[in-house]
A = this chain, B = another copy of it.
Amino acid sequence: MEIFRTPRIMKETSRRLLTRGRTIGFVPTMGALHDGHLYLVKRARSENDIVVASIFINPAQFGPNEDFVKYPRDFDSDMTKLETAGVDVLFYPEVSAVYPAGFSTYIEVRGLSEKLCGVVRPGHFMGVATVVCKFFQMVLPTRAYFGQKDFQQSRVIEQMVRDLNMSVDCLRCSTIRESDGVAMSSRNRYLAPAEREAARVIYRTLQAAARLVEGGMDVQSVKAQIMDMLSAEPLITDIQYAGIYDPETLDERVAAGRSNLLAAAVKIGSTRLIDNLVLEL
Protein backbone atom coordinates (compact mmCIF):
# COMPACT_ATOMS: atom_id res chain seq x y z
CA MET A 1 0.00 0.00 0.00
CA GLU A 2 1.32 3.39 -1.02
CA ILE A 3 0.77 6.34 1.31
CA PHE A 4 0.40 9.68 -0.47
CA ARG A 5 0.57 12.87 1.55
CA THR A 6 0.29 15.57 -1.14
CA PRO A 7 -2.55 16.43 -3.52
CA ARG A 8 -0.04 16.65 -6.36
CA ILE A 9 1.14 13.05 -6.24
CA MET A 10 -2.42 11.81 -5.65
CA LYS A 11 -3.69 13.64 -8.75
CA GLU A 12 -0.79 12.63 -10.96
CA THR A 13 -1.24 8.99 -10.01
CA SER A 14 -5.00 9.03 -10.61
CA ARG A 15 -4.62 10.71 -13.99
CA ARG A 16 -2.07 8.14 -15.05
CA LEU A 17 -4.33 5.28 -13.92
CA LEU A 18 -7.34 6.69 -15.78
CA THR A 19 -5.30 7.19 -18.94
CA ARG A 20 -4.47 3.50 -18.74
CA GLY A 21 -8.17 2.66 -18.50
CA ARG A 22 -8.11 1.59 -14.83
CA THR A 23 -11.19 2.01 -12.63
CA ILE A 24 -10.66 3.66 -9.25
CA GLY A 25 -12.82 2.90 -6.20
CA PHE A 26 -12.62 5.54 -3.47
CA VAL A 27 -13.48 5.30 0.23
CA PRO A 28 -13.16 8.69 1.96
CA THR A 29 -12.91 8.47 5.77
CA MET A 30 -12.00 10.52 8.81
CA GLY A 31 -10.05 7.55 10.22
CA ALA A 32 -10.89 5.81 13.53
CA LEU A 33 -11.94 2.97 11.30
CA HIS A 34 -14.51 0.35 12.21
CA ASP A 35 -16.10 -2.54 10.32
CA GLY A 36 -18.48 -0.14 8.56
CA HIS A 37 -15.54 1.54 6.85
CA LEU A 38 -13.95 -1.82 6.06
CA TYR A 39 -17.17 -2.98 4.45
CA LEU A 40 -16.93 0.00 2.09
CA VAL A 41 -13.33 -0.96 1.28
CA LYS A 42 -14.42 -4.54 0.59
CA ARG A 43 -17.08 -3.34 -1.85
CA ALA A 44 -14.59 -1.02 -3.52
CA ARG A 45 -12.03 -3.83 -3.75
CA SER A 46 -14.48 -6.16 -5.50
CA GLU A 47 -15.73 -3.58 -8.01
CA ASN A 48 -12.63 -1.66 -9.13
CA ASP A 49 -9.08 -2.16 -10.39
CA ILE A 50 -7.56 0.22 -7.85
CA VAL A 51 -8.79 1.12 -4.36
CA VAL A 52 -7.96 4.48 -2.81
CA ALA A 53 -8.94 5.23 0.80
CA SER A 54 -8.40 8.60 2.42
CA ILE A 55 -8.04 9.60 6.05
CA PHE A 56 -8.71 13.28 6.60
CA ILE A 57 -10.42 14.87 9.58
CA ASN A 58 -11.99 17.79 7.79
CA PRO A 59 -12.07 20.91 9.95
CA ALA A 60 -14.57 22.59 7.57
CA GLN A 61 -17.35 20.20 8.57
CA PHE A 62 -17.05 20.71 12.32
CA GLY A 63 -18.85 23.57 14.07
CA PRO A 64 -17.03 25.78 16.58
CA ASN A 65 -18.44 23.82 19.56
CA GLU A 66 -18.09 20.38 18.01
CA ASP A 67 -15.55 17.60 18.53
CA PHE A 68 -12.87 18.37 15.92
CA VAL A 69 -10.08 18.46 18.50
CA LYS A 70 -11.11 15.36 20.40
CA TYR A 71 -12.24 13.36 17.32
CA PRO A 72 -10.45 9.97 17.65
CA ARG A 73 -7.14 9.66 15.78
CA ASP A 74 -5.50 6.26 15.43
CA PHE A 75 -3.37 6.35 12.30
CA ASP A 76 -1.19 3.27 12.87
CA SER A 77 -4.14 1.01 13.54
CA ASP A 78 -6.12 2.50 10.61
CA MET A 79 -3.18 2.00 8.27
CA THR A 80 -2.88 -1.67 9.19
CA LYS A 81 -6.61 -2.23 8.71
CA LEU A 82 -6.60 -0.61 5.27
CA GLU A 83 -3.52 -2.49 4.12
CA THR A 84 -5.04 -5.79 5.31
CA ALA A 85 -8.30 -4.96 3.51
CA GLY A 86 -6.43 -4.61 0.23
CA VAL A 87 -6.28 -0.84 -0.25
CA ASP A 88 -3.75 0.17 -2.93
CA VAL A 89 -3.34 3.83 -2.03
CA LEU A 90 -3.91 5.57 1.29
CA PHE A 91 -4.28 9.30 0.76
CA TYR A 92 -3.48 11.06 4.03
CA PRO A 93 -2.93 14.77 3.39
CA GLU A 94 -2.17 17.49 5.91
CA VAL A 95 -4.87 20.07 6.66
CA SER A 96 -2.59 22.79 5.27
CA ALA A 97 -2.30 20.92 1.95
CA VAL A 98 -6.08 20.63 1.61
CA TYR A 99 -6.82 24.17 2.82
CA PRO A 100 -3.80 26.30 1.91
CA ALA A 101 -3.62 29.97 2.88
CA GLY A 102 -6.16 32.00 0.91
CA PHE A 103 -8.59 29.11 0.49
CA SER A 104 -12.04 30.65 -0.07
CA THR A 105 -14.28 28.39 -2.21
CA TYR A 106 -17.29 26.61 -0.76
CA ILE A 107 -19.98 24.38 -2.25
CA GLU A 108 -23.50 24.69 -1.01
CA VAL A 109 -26.20 22.11 -1.73
CA ARG A 110 -29.24 24.18 -0.87
CA GLY A 111 -32.31 22.62 0.69
CA LEU A 112 -30.93 19.17 1.50
CA SER A 113 -28.15 20.67 3.62
CA GLU A 114 -30.49 22.64 5.86
CA LYS A 115 -32.71 19.78 6.98
CA LEU A 116 -32.30 17.10 9.72
CA CYS A 117 -28.66 17.27 10.91
CA GLY A 118 -28.28 20.60 9.10
CA VAL A 119 -30.60 22.30 11.60
CA VAL A 120 -28.26 21.71 14.54
CA ARG A 121 -25.07 21.66 12.43
CA PRO A 122 -25.27 24.76 10.21
CA GLY A 123 -22.42 24.75 7.68
CA HIS A 124 -21.68 21.05 8.27
CA PHE A 125 -22.83 19.86 4.85
CA MET A 126 -21.14 22.80 3.12
CA GLY A 127 -17.91 21.54 4.69
CA VAL A 128 -18.71 17.98 3.60
CA ALA A 129 -19.66 18.90 0.03
CA THR A 130 -16.59 21.11 -0.38
CA VAL A 131 -14.07 18.55 0.85
CA VAL A 132 -15.69 15.67 -1.05
CA CYS A 133 -15.63 17.71 -4.26
CA LYS A 134 -11.94 18.45 -3.66
CA PHE A 135 -11.10 14.81 -2.98
CA PHE A 136 -13.05 13.72 -6.06
CA GLN A 137 -10.95 16.11 -8.15
CA MET A 138 -7.76 14.71 -6.63
CA VAL A 139 -8.62 10.99 -6.60
CA LEU A 140 -10.73 10.99 -9.82
CA PRO A 141 -12.75 7.99 -8.66
CA THR A 142 -14.87 5.87 -10.95
CA ARG A 143 -16.95 4.91 -7.90
CA ALA A 144 -17.11 6.32 -4.37
CA TYR A 145 -18.50 4.48 -1.35
CA PHE A 146 -20.50 5.98 1.52
CA GLY A 147 -22.27 4.41 4.48
CA GLN A 148 -26.03 4.61 4.82
CA LYS A 149 -25.67 5.58 8.48
CA ASP A 150 -24.79 9.06 7.23
CA PHE A 151 -27.83 9.06 4.97
CA GLN A 152 -28.13 12.82 4.62
CA GLN A 153 -24.43 13.10 3.79
CA SER A 154 -24.84 10.60 0.97
CA ARG A 155 -27.89 12.50 -0.36
CA VAL A 156 -26.01 15.81 -0.30
CA ILE A 157 -23.06 14.26 -2.14
CA GLU A 158 -25.25 12.52 -4.72
CA GLN A 159 -27.04 15.82 -5.37
CA MET A 160 -23.75 17.69 -5.74
CA VAL A 161 -22.40 15.07 -8.14
CA ARG A 162 -25.56 15.28 -10.25
CA ASP A 163 -25.76 19.08 -10.19
CA LEU A 164 -22.07 19.64 -10.96
CA ASN A 165 -21.97 16.96 -13.70
CA MET A 166 -19.28 14.97 -11.96
CA SER A 167 -18.59 11.55 -13.41
CA VAL A 168 -18.22 9.57 -10.19
CA ASP A 169 -20.77 6.90 -9.34
CA CYS A 170 -21.72 7.27 -5.65
CA LEU A 171 -22.76 4.08 -3.89
CA ARG A 172 -24.63 4.06 -0.60
CA CYS A 173 -23.73 0.92 1.39
CA SER A 174 -25.60 -0.76 4.23
CA THR A 175 -25.04 0.39 7.78
CA ILE A 176 -22.93 -2.13 9.68
CA ARG A 177 -24.12 -2.78 13.22
CA GLU A 178 -22.77 -4.24 16.43
CA SER A 179 -24.37 -7.53 17.49
CA ASP A 180 -26.88 -5.62 19.63
CA GLY A 181 -28.00 -3.47 16.69
CA VAL A 182 -26.13 -0.25 17.49
CA ALA A 183 -24.82 1.33 14.29
CA MET A 184 -21.04 1.35 14.11
CA SER A 185 -19.64 4.84 14.51
CA SER A 186 -16.25 6.27 15.41
CA ARG A 187 -18.10 8.33 18.01
CA ASN A 188 -19.29 5.22 19.88
CA ARG A 189 -15.94 5.23 21.67
CA TYR A 190 -17.03 8.40 23.49
CA LEU A 191 -19.78 6.42 25.26
CA ALA A 192 -19.45 5.29 28.89
CA PRO A 193 -20.70 1.68 29.43
CA ALA A 194 -24.16 2.76 30.61
CA GLU A 195 -24.44 5.18 27.67
CA ARG A 196 -23.40 2.45 25.24
CA GLU A 197 -26.18 0.28 26.71
CA ALA A 198 -28.67 3.17 26.37
CA ALA A 199 -27.67 3.69 22.70
CA ARG A 200 -29.50 0.45 21.83
CA VAL A 201 -32.82 2.27 22.14
CA ILE A 202 -32.21 4.21 18.89
CA TYR A 203 -32.23 1.31 16.44
CA ARG A 204 -34.79 -0.58 18.53
CA THR A 205 -37.09 2.43 18.23
CA LEU A 206 -36.56 2.74 14.46
CA GLN A 207 -37.32 -0.97 14.00
CA ALA A 208 -40.46 -0.75 16.14
CA ALA A 209 -41.55 2.32 14.18
CA ALA A 210 -41.02 0.47 10.90
CA ARG A 211 -43.32 -2.30 12.09
CA LEU A 212 -45.97 0.26 13.05
CA VAL A 213 -45.78 1.91 9.63
CA GLU A 214 -45.98 -1.49 7.95
CA GLY A 215 -49.02 -2.21 10.14
CA GLY A 216 -50.74 0.84 8.67
CA MET A 217 -50.45 3.30 11.57
CA ASP A 218 -50.48 6.93 10.39
CA VAL A 219 -47.09 8.66 10.48
CA GLN A 220 -48.12 11.26 13.07
CA SER A 221 -49.00 8.50 15.54
CA VAL A 222 -45.82 6.61 14.69
CA LYS A 223 -43.81 9.75 15.33
CA ALA A 224 -45.48 10.15 18.73
CA GLN A 225 -44.51 6.54 19.50
CA ILE A 226 -40.93 7.19 18.44
CA MET A 227 -40.70 10.23 20.70
CA ASP A 228 -42.19 8.28 23.61
CA MET A 229 -39.73 5.40 23.19
CA LEU A 230 -36.70 7.67 22.93
CA SER A 231 -37.86 9.89 25.79
CA ALA A 232 -38.25 6.84 28.03
CA GLU A 233 -34.46 6.40 28.00
CA PRO A 234 -33.19 8.65 30.81
CA LEU A 235 -29.63 8.89 29.39
CA ILE A 236 -30.93 10.56 26.22
CA THR A 237 -30.44 14.23 26.99
CA ASP A 238 -31.72 15.64 23.68
CA ILE A 239 -33.80 14.36 20.76
CA GLN A 240 -32.62 16.56 17.88
CA TYR A 241 -34.96 14.99 15.37
CA ALA A 242 -36.80 11.73 14.93
CA GLY A 243 -39.47 10.73 12.47
CA ILE A 244 -40.37 9.58 8.99
CA TYR A 245 -38.92 11.39 5.98
CA ASP A 246 -38.86 11.32 2.20
CA PRO A 247 -35.47 9.72 1.35
CA GLU A 248 -35.14 11.93 -1.74
CA THR A 249 -36.05 15.39 -0.37
CA LEU A 250 -35.53 14.62 3.37
CA ASP A 251 -38.82 16.41 4.06
CA GLU A 252 -40.90 14.99 6.89
CA ARG A 253 -43.64 12.76 5.52
CA VAL A 254 -47.31 13.58 6.17
CA ALA A 255 -48.22 10.07 5.04
CA ALA A 256 -46.09 7.00 4.40
CA GLY A 257 -44.80 6.75 0.85
CA ARG A 258 -43.40 3.87 -1.14
CA SER A 259 -39.93 4.53 0.24
CA ASN A 260 -39.60 5.95 3.76
CA LEU A 261 -36.58 7.09 5.72
CA LEU A 262 -36.96 6.50 9.46
CA ALA A 263 -34.22 8.54 11.10
CA ALA A 264 -33.21 9.95 14.44
CA ALA A 265 -30.46 12.07 15.99
CA VAL A 266 -30.10 12.12 19.76
CA LYS A 267 -27.59 13.09 22.36
CA ILE A 268 -26.61 10.55 24.98
CA GLY A 269 -24.68 12.50 27.57
CA SER A 270 -22.54 14.78 25.45
CA THR A 271 -22.27 12.32 22.52
CA ARG A 272 -24.38 12.91 19.44
CA LEU A 273 -25.55 9.73 17.68
CA ILE A 274 -27.53 9.28 14.47
CA ASP A 275 -29.13 6.27 12.87
CA ASN A 276 -31.71 5.46 10.21
CA LEU A 277 -33.36 2.74 8.22
CA VAL A 278 -35.16 2.80 4.91
CA LEU A 279 -38.55 1.13 4.77
CA GLU A 280 -39.92 0.18 1.34
CA LEU A 281 -43.68 -0.43 1.33
**A interface list, Cβ under 8 A from B:** 7, 11, 15, 18-19, 21, 102-112, 129-130, 133-134, 137-138, 159-160, 163-167
- Using Cβ atoms and an 8 Å threshold, which residues of chain B touch A137? 164-167
Can you give 10 contacting A-B residue pairs, CB < 8 Å?
Answer: A11-B165, A19-B21, A102-B159, A105-B107, A105-B110, A105-B129, A106-B107, A108-B108, A137-B164, A137-B167
Cα(A46)–Cα(B138), bound, Å: 28
Cα(A21)–Cα(B16), bound, Å: 10
Q: A19-B18, A165-B137 are in contact. Are A106 and B108 (CB under 8 A)?
A: yes
- CB of A107 within 8 A of CB of B110, answer no
- CB of A159 within 8 A of CB of B108, answer no
- CB of B165 within 8 A of CB of A138, answer yes
Closest 5 A/B residue pairs (Cβ): A105-B163, A137-B165, A104-B110, A134-B165, A138-B165
Q: A19-B19, A167-B137 are in contact. Are A159 and B107 (CB under 8 A)?
A: no
Partner of A105, one of B18, B104, B108: B108
Cα(A166)–Cα(B136), bound, Å: 9
- Using Cβ atoms and an 8 Å threshold, which residues of chain B touch A11? 165, 167
Q: How far is the CB of A60 from chain B (nearest CB, A)?
A: 11
- Using Cβ atoms and an 8 Å threshold, which residues of chain B touch A129? 105
Q: Which of chain B's residues has its CB closest to A21's CB?
A: B19
Cα(A189)–Cα(B73), bound, Å: 61
- Using Cβ atoms and an 8 Å threshold, which residues of chain B touch A164? 105, 107, 130, 133-134, 137
- CB of A160 within 8 A of CB of B105, answer yes
Q: How far is the CB of A113 from chain B (nearest CB, A)?
A: 9
Q: How far is the CB of A164 from chain B (nearest CB, A)?
A: 6
- CB of A104 within 8 A of CB of B18, answer no
Q: How far is the CB of A153 from chain B (nearest CB, A)?
A: 15
- Using Cβ atoms and an 8 Å threshold, which residues of chain B touch A105? 107-110, 129, 159-160, 163-164
- CB of A159 within 8 A of CB of B111, answer no
Cα(A105)–Cα(B138), bound, Å: 20
Q: Given A105-B129, A106-B107, A134-B164, 5 more contacts at CB 8 Å?
A: A7-B165, A11-B167, A104-B112, A105-B159, A107-B107
| Most B-side CB within 10 Å, residue of A105, A129, A137, A164 | A105
- Using Cβ atoms and an 8 Å threshold, which residues of chain B touch A107? 105-108, 164
Q: How far is the CB of A18 from chain B (nearest CB, A)?
A: 7
- Using Cβ atoms and an 8 Å threshold, which residues of chain B touch A159? 102, 104-105
- Using Cβ atoms and an 8 Å threshold, which residues of chain B touch A133? 164
- CB of A111 within 8 A of CB of B106, answer no
